[in-house]
Amino acid sequence: METLKYRARLKRYLRFPLYMIVLFFIGCIVVSFSEPRLAGVMAIFAVIYGILTSVYYSINLKSFKSTIIEYAVHYGTVQKELLKNFRLPYVLLDSTGRIMWMNEEFRILVDKNKNYNKSITSLFPEITREGIDHAREDMFDIHIEYNERKYLACLQRLDMTEPLKGSGIVPNMEESSDGLVAILLFDETDIQETKAKINDQALVSSLLYIDNYDEVFETVENTKQTMLLALIDRKINKYFGEADAIVRRLEKDKYLIIFQHKYLKNFENDKFSIVEDIMGIKMGNDRDITVSLGVGLGSESYTQNAQYAHIAIDLALARGGCQTVIKDGQNVSYYSTHGKEVERNTRVKARVKAQALRELMETRDRIIVMGHNLSDADCLGASVGVFCAGREIGKPVNIVLDTVTSSMRPVVESFTDKPEYPDDMFITSERALNLCNDNTLIMVVDTNRPSIVECPGLLYKNKNVVVIDHHRQVDEVIENPILSYIEPYASSASEMIAEVLQYFADKININPTEADCIYAGILIDTNNFMTKTGVRTFEAAAFLRRNGAEVTRVRKMLRENMETYKARAEVVRNATTYRGVFAISECQPDGNLESPTVVGAQAANELLNIVGIKASFVLTMYMDKVFISSRSIDEIDVQRIMARLGGGGHVNIAGAQVENSTVDEVRKDLEETIDKMLEEGEIKL
């Protein structure tokens, strides 16, 4: 387009005298109407001017063309010489990626003669045919290495068939008919090394907390407490001292640690063994000392890195403690050397959360509570507990429940069949969205992941959200809740709600039906008090028993039909072992099976009763998703395995939901994940 523009300007410039002749004749015609004699004289001069101009053009046209050609050739030669002696390496490729011409700097760089015309990939493997094709459509940059130097290769398409003809740059124009690709190399070795040095010297902010300081030191004699604390200090200072770190104790159980980024890789390779080292300290203490470490980096601001460290340590504690969490900008990594959450016997946190929850509920007109989709006994028990709390202060509570599974139908009917309970105690998601307004409190129980709640729309319609859950947090969490009570050490959300109810009012009114429902939640999630039970689990169960919970009624309420029992037995029968210690099976739903995911979870529990099985996995295709139920006793952290498949849960009880995949594909992914974690040392047999 530019060439055509310049040609048009040159033609107008050269033809300007001819245009003037036409103008003279027009002037003669105009003057002839008033002065015919004068017009005749002007016409004679116009004719003479035209003749002289034509003669001049005919005589000098050849010389004029030669001058233009000579200038163009000289200009092209200068351009070619400049490109040839360009201080930056420059090369031209044909459409297939074969070298067609290189300047002197590029020839010296690759140490080849000027006739070298092999593929550019033979010199730089990073520049592939796909990259060249991409450059033919748009500019394309790629980082490459050559002779221990780093370069930025800028690829750009050149449509220069016409300008390059006769220039001597392209030996065969037919091979470049699709256009050329030019590559310009910029040496960025020094820049990259400087960036690496700056990155290595960046400060990383860390916080280390002793998870169970009070519980440990209250069992240690006074004379040994100082020695025990000094030993902890020594191990922490020695471990981080090797990285030239600054270690300062902020409080009796909290440390601030600052070190350079270049040492972080060593800590990661070591999997932050300080967590395990401190667990091995024995100085009259009956309990293991567990610590959590939060690491913050990825920001240019020291203040922001410190904030990341606070977020990381909060996340570590929310996941049960005894682990390291690294928050690098928006990325979060987890390191844990111990697979057991830290149980805290103190109820101070439960009391504080109960008081805060009551204050929030009293300031709202309505409370809507929901759990995860396909609600189970624990989810429903926790929801009923919130209903009891709302009734205590005279606030209406609605429980969102879209699907009532066969296993939960007897529990739900125990409320819907009684006149003392309102008709809208259980509502659908659509009704919940209509009832929700700015003065509504949304409570989420038994999950902290927004993607699997019963009604995700409520989270976006109202920001007044409270989360009560016992699952470990993963990267996907409900953002900015006004109150969050997440304790992975707890056996169930029902246990947590039972504790909250004890401090919610001096004498809260819970009738036997409600106590049965909450008790059932604890019973199911603990597998009849065989999994994840602690002192506080039995205390919560005792509280419910005092309020009328009856084990016999709960057992009858949770009984299953013959089809469910047979289906579970079939899952166990078809189970296979992987690597000798992992039991994997599939639950095949049919028309007679209303809650196949529940059957899968029950079968996973059953598989742990087999000698030699350390972890079990049951895969169920249901509602266009593959549900994975995973269980273990004590040696395998199934939560880590499920986290890699997009799920979560506890050390011994976890699960995942995989979309757009078949059972066979998910099974293969599961086995590959186990293999990879065994290779990385995340799982030890």
Domain ranges of the chain: 16-83, 87-194, 203-335, 348-557, 563-680
HSE-up of 389 (CA within 13 Å, CB side)? Answer: 30
For residue 432, the model assigns a pLDDT of 92
For residue 228, the model assigns a pLDDT of 87
More confident residue, 135 or 268: 268
What burial class does residue 316 get, using C-beta atoms within 10 Å of its C-beta: 0-12 exposed, 13-18 middle, 19+ buried? buried
pLDDT band at 178; cut points 50, 70, 90: low
For residue 395, the model assigns a pLDDT of 93
Q: How many C-beta neighbours within 10 Å does residue 613 have?
A: 19
What burial class does residue 25 get, using C-beta atoms within 10 Å of its C-beta: 0-12 exposed, 13-18 middle, 19+ buried? middle
In CATH, which superfamily holds the domain spanning 203-335?
Answer: Reverse transcriptase/Diguanylate cyclase domain (3.30.70.270)
Which residues make beta-bridge pairs with 93? 99, 181
Summarize pLDDT for 283-336 with one digit per residue, the tens: 777 778 888 899 999 888 889 999 999 988 887 877 767 888 899 888 888 886
Which element (helix H / strand E) includes 486? Answer: strand 483-486
Summarize pLDDT for 429-472 with one digit per residue, the tens: 999 999 999 899 999 999 888 888 999 889 888 888 999 998 87
* pLDDT at 577 > cutoff 90: yes
Phi and psi torsions of 15, nearest 5°: -90, 5
Summarize pLDDT for 495-529 with one digit per residue, the tens: 999 999 998 988 888 999 999 999 999 998 888 88
For residue 494, the model assigns a pLDDT of 92
Instruction: Scan for tokens 């003037």, then name that residue.
Output: 20
Tokens of 233: 């200090």
Instruction: Scan for tokens 């409320």, then name that residue.
Output: 415
More confident residue, 45 or 629: 629
CA distance 528 to 546: 19
Beta strands (DSSP E) in 554-661 are: 576-578, 582-587, 615-622, 625-632, 648-649, 653-659
% of the chain at pLDDT higher than 90: 25
Summarize pLDDT for 12-41 with one digit per residue, the tens: 666 667 677 777 777 777 777 777 777 777
Which element (helix H / strand E) includes 144? Answer: strand 140-146
pTM over 0.75: no
Q: What's the CATH class of domain 348-557?
A: alpha beta
Mean pLDDT for the stretch of residues 167-190: 64
Q: Are 176 and 162 in contact (CB under 8 A)?
A: no
The alpha carbon of 96 is separated from its chain's Cα centroid by a whole number of angstroms, namely 38
What average pLDDT does the structure give for the chain? 82
The CA distances from residue 253 to 130, 216, 250, 284, in Å, are 56, 11, 8, 18
Which residues make beta-bridge pairs with 291? 210
Question: Which CATH architecture best describes the domain 563-680?
Answer: Roll (3.10)
Question: Which CATH architecture best describes the domain 87-194?
Answer: 2-Layer Sandwich (3.30)
For residue 175, the model assigns a pLDDT of 45
Choose the weakest-confidence range: 52-61, 460-469, 617-626, 653-662. Answer: 52-61
* pLDDT at 207 > cutoff 90: yes
Q: Is 291 helix (H, G, I), strand (E, B) or coil?
A: strand
CA distance 122 to 446: 58
Mean pLDDT for the stretch of residues 66-83: 59
* pLDDT at 168 > cutoff 50: no
Q: Give me the DSSP letters along 298-332.
A: S-S-HHHHHHHHHHHHHHHHHTTSSSEEEEETTEE
